[in-house]
Amino acid sequence: AQAALHDGAGVNLGGGTHHAFADAGKGFCTFNDVVVATRRLRADGRARRVLVIDLDPGGPNSKPLYLINPRIVEASGELAPYHEGCLSVPEVWDDVRRPAKVTVEYMDEKGRTQRVSADGLFATCLQHEIDHINGLLFIDHLSKLKRSIALRKSAKLKRRG
């Protein structure tokens, strides 16, 4: 389903369209049935951070949103918990408290600066994936004890293979 959803999608990163998402089997993950992707791409010699979110993959409201170099420009003081997991830390799930509402500024696939405001699952997905392209995992938001337990569990599962 992931390949059918994003196969062949092109993103203009300056200097031409790059079919960055043609191989949907790599770099894509499912986050509670939400297809998301993060990539670090090079165009014109500069790194680009690309994120794709679709809140209804394969469904009647499927509409992938492409965000290039996204950054959170506003975040509410109210925090909302969400039970998160990630393919980077297999079989590990925990509650993460993040701002309930965020506004994200990004460049669209045509190179135009855009803003999107989000709450609920959409806000959680944006924050989770922006963290990814900035080198953070959801477990980095956990207490030291919970993070340590999560890393041990993940390492044990990887050894089992």
Question: pTM of the full predicted structure?
Answer: 0.75
Among this protein's residues, is 78 annotated catalytic?
A: no
Residue with tokens 């803003």: 115
Instruction: For residue range 57-90, list pLDDT tens digits in order.
Output: 788 988 888 898 999 999 999 999 999 988 888 8
Tell me the pLDDT band of 21, cut-offs 50, 70 and 90.
Answer: very low
CA dihedral in degrees (105, 10, 1, 56; nearest 10)?
Answer: 30
Alpha carbon distance 18, 2 (integer Å): 19
Catalytic pick among 74, 91, 105, 129: 129
